[in-house]
Structure formats: C-alpha cells, structure tokens
Structure 1
C-alpha cells in the first residue's frame, strides 16, 4: 500500500485577506505544491443549523 502526501493547513484567520503578513505569504507560496493535485480533501467541524 502506498501513502499519499498529506498537508495540514489550519483555517487560520480572516485577516489573511486584509493583512496577509508572513503567514499569508507562505500560504500563497505553498499553493504551488497543489498545481498537480488530482484531488483535495477538506474536513471541517463547522456547520450551519437553524437557530
């Protein structure tokens, strides 16, 4: 059985859009690693419910 490469990326902060800083720059740089990806799996504990 072969293993697929894995990368954990935290959802971080909405401030990356307003003031990206070093973390935003690094996220932009690692995006090149996903150019050849055939699939990306996103797992999130967030959901919406009626109040």
Structure 2
C-alpha cells in the first residue's frame, strides 16, 4: 500500500508542478513551494482527512 501511495503522490506532484510552473517571489523563499502545498492539500482530500490534526 505504501509503494502505491508514494507512486501516486510522486505522479501527482509532478503533474501539479508541470501545470503550475516556476513562480518567482520576492524576498525570502517560502518553506514550501506552491506545487508542494497543492499536492499536500489534494492528497489530504484524496485520503479523506477532514482536519489538520489527522
């Protein structure tokens, strides 16, 4: 199950990163890129977690 989840998240991240592309920012770089943040949010929704504490 873990390998399937890892593969799914990797493919999801690559697809999101290709779609969003490189976005420039001013000042200090963020701790998470936009692609990583969207990938985490989509994975949370796919896995059925409804709160941050889970």
Q: With structure 1 as the length reference, what TM-score do the two structures score?
A: 0.34
Q: Which structure has greater helix proportion? A: 2
**TM-score under structure 2 normalisation?**
0.33
Which entry has the higher C-alpha Rg, 1 or 2? 1
Q: Per chain length, whose mean CA-contact separation is higher, i.e. which structure has more relative contact order (CA < 8 Å, sep 6+)?
A: 2
